[in-house]
Amino acid sequence: MTKKVFLIITLFISFNSFSQEGTFSPYSFFGVGNNTFRGTAENRSMRGLSVFSDSIHLNLQNPAAYGDLRLTTFTIGATSNSLNLEDNTTSESVGYTTVDYISIGIPFKKFGVGFGLKPLSSVGYEILTSEGDVTKSLNGRGGLNTVYLSSGFKLFKNFTIGATANYNFGEIENRNLIAQDNVERASRDINTSNISGLTLNFGLQHKFNITRKYFFKYSFSYSPETSLDIDNDRQLATVLFGANGTEVVIDDIQSTTTSSQVDFGSKLNGGFGVGQERKWFVGMEYSRNTASNFDEINFNNNIDLNYVESEEVKLGGYFIPRFNSPRGYFNRVVYRAGVRYSQTGMDFRQESIDEFGISFGLGLPAGRFFSNINLGAEYWTRGTTNNNLVQENYFSVFLSLSFNDLWFQKPKFN
C-alpha cells in the first residue's frame, strides 16, 4: 500500500510542478509551438510506432492498448537533447533536458484505465536582428500540457477498443523589443495567450494468428477536429534598460484582452505488423492530419506561412534473443529500432517543413514483475536551409523507468 500511495502522490505533485523549457527552435514561433510528445521511450525507440502493445508497458498513443494491460504500471520518461541550428552562413548549438511524461496504468478484469501528464507542445526561441541603427529582439516561451484519462476495453480475445479524454492547458508568451541607436527609450510588445480545452482520441487494436508461430496485428486511432479556448492579452509599452539589463517600464501605451478559439485538425492513424510472440515484431504506420488554424493567436500571423494537411510514415520493430533465458542477461534485453518521415503541416516561404529521423533503443529487465529500464537514442532533422530558412539537427538520448506490480488481488487465506 505504501508503494501505491507514493506513486499516486508523486504523480499529483508533478501535475502542479510540470514546467520546463521544452525547445529552442525558431519554428516554435508558429501556432502553439513544436509538437513535443513522441510516445513512450519504448515506442519512441521504434520511431513512435504505436501499433504494438503488450501487458507490461504503457502505450500512450492508442487508448485501446489499456485493454491488454495485465500489471499496474507506473512510468516516467526524460530526454537530453543536443540541437544544432544552421542556415546558409552560420551554425549554433544548444543543449537542454526535458521531462517527457508521467503516467500510470491500472488493469481490471476486462478493461484497463490510465491517467497522467505529458507535454503537448513547446515554445522556445530567441531571435536578434539588426537593420541599420534599429535592433529587434524577438523571443518566446511556454507551450501546452495535457492531463489525460484513458480507458481500454477487451471486447473479445485479442480485440480491444479505447478512448482518451485530454484536458489541454498552457500559456504562450511572445515578446518583441525594438531599440534604435541614440533613442533613449525602446518599444516593447508582449503578447500572452492562455489556451485551454478538451480533446478526444479513440482507438482499436486486433491481433490474430496467421500460423501456429506467427501473428498479425493492426490498429487504428482517430482524434476528431476540435477547438480550444484562447484568451489573448497584448501589452504595449516604452521601456528603459537598467544597468543589469532589466527593463523599466516608462509608459504603458495600450493593453487589450480578447477571447476566441484556435482550431486543431483531425488525425487518423493506421498501422499493421507481423511478429512472433515474445521474440520479434516489425510494423508500419501511416497517419494523416487535416490543417489546423491558429490565426487567432496574437503576434502569430505571417503572410509567408500556410497551415496544410500533413502525413507521417513510421517503420519500426523489436527483437528479443530469448525472453526467458536463465543465463545471459543480454539474451533477455529488448532491442528496438525505427525510422520516421513526417510533415509538420507548415509551409513556410513555399518550403514544406518536414522531419526525418532514425532511432534505436534497449529494454533492460530490472527487478520483479517485469519492471524495466528503457534507454534510447535518436537522430532527426527538421526544416531546410533552402530559401534562407533554418535546418535543425537533433541528437537525443532518452530514458524511461517502468515499474510493474500486481494490485487488487483477492486474498487467498483469511
**Structure confidence by residue, pLDDT tens digits, 336-365:** 999 999 999 999 989 999 999 999 999 999
Per-residue cell: 272: 499493421
Closest CA to 74 of 297, 410, 372, 413: 372
Q: Are 77 and 398 in contact (CB under 8 A)?
A: yes
Farthest-apart Cα atoms in the chain, separation:
86
- Kind of pairing between the strands at 91-107 and 159-180: unpaired
Q: Are 319 and 357 in contact (CB under 8 A)?
A: no
Distance CA 230, CA 142 (A): 14
CATH topology (fold) of 2-373+386-405: Porin (2.40.160)
For the cut 90, the answer to whether the pLDDT of residue 323 exceeds it is: no
Distance CA 216, CA 211 (A): 9
Distance CA 160, CA 156 (A): 7
Distance CA 354, CA 383 (A): 6
Number of H helices, E strands in the chain: 2, 18
Q: Are 230 and 260 in contact (CB under 8 A)?
A: yes
Per-residue cell: 212: 501456429
User: Mean pLDDT throughout 13-20?
Assistant: 49
- Kind of pairing between the strands at 334-348 and 34-35: unpaired
User: Mean pLDDT throughout 139-166?
Assistant: 95
Distance CA 119, CA 103 (A): 12
For the cut 60, the answer to whether the pLDDT of residue 85 exceeds it is: yes
Where residue 89 falls among pLDDT bands split at 50, 70, 90?
confident
Where residue 255 falls among pLDDT bands split at 50, 70, 90?
confident
Secondary structure E strands in 181-213: 186-209
Give the distance, in angstroms, between the CA of residue 191 and the centroid of all CA atoms in the same chain: 24
Lowest mean pLDDT among 192-206, 271-285, 358-372: 358-372
For the cut 50, the answer to whether the pLDDT of residue 24 exceeds it is: yes
Query: pLDDT by residue (tens digit) across 293-303?
Result: 988 886 666 77
User: Mean pLDDT throughout 185-205?
Assistant: 94
Looking from the CA of 12 toward its CB, the CA atoms found within 13 Å total 5
Bridge partners (DSSP) listed for residue 272: 218, 284
Q: Are 144 and 36 in contact (CB under 8 A)?
A: no
Q: State the pLDDT at residue 18.
A: 54
Q: State the pLDDT at residue 65.
A: 96
Closest CA to 77 of 49, 21, 106, 39: 39
Distance CA 358, CA 198 (A): 32
- For cell 529552442, name the residue: 24
Across the chain, mean pLDDT equals: 88
Q: State the pLDDT at residue 377.
A: 97
Q: Are 370 and 406 in contact (CB under 8 A)?
A: no
Q: Are 106 and 74 in contact (CB under 8 A)?
A: no
Closest CA to 83 of 385, 294, 397: 397
Domain boundaries, the chain: 2-373+386-405
Where residue 158 falls among pLDDT bands split at 50, 70, 90?
very high
For the cut 50, the answer to whether the pLDDT of residue 9 exceeds it is: no
For the cut 70, the answer to whether the pLDDT of residue 95 exceeds it is: yes
Q: Are 172 and 297 in contact (CB under 8 A)?
A: yes
User: Mean pLDDT throughout 256-277?
Assistant: 94
Q: State the pLDDT at residue 193.
A: 92
For the cut 50, the answer to whether the pLDDT of residue 4 exceeds it is: no
Query: pLDDT by residue (tens digit) across 366-395?
Result: 876 688 999 999 999 999 999 989 999 999
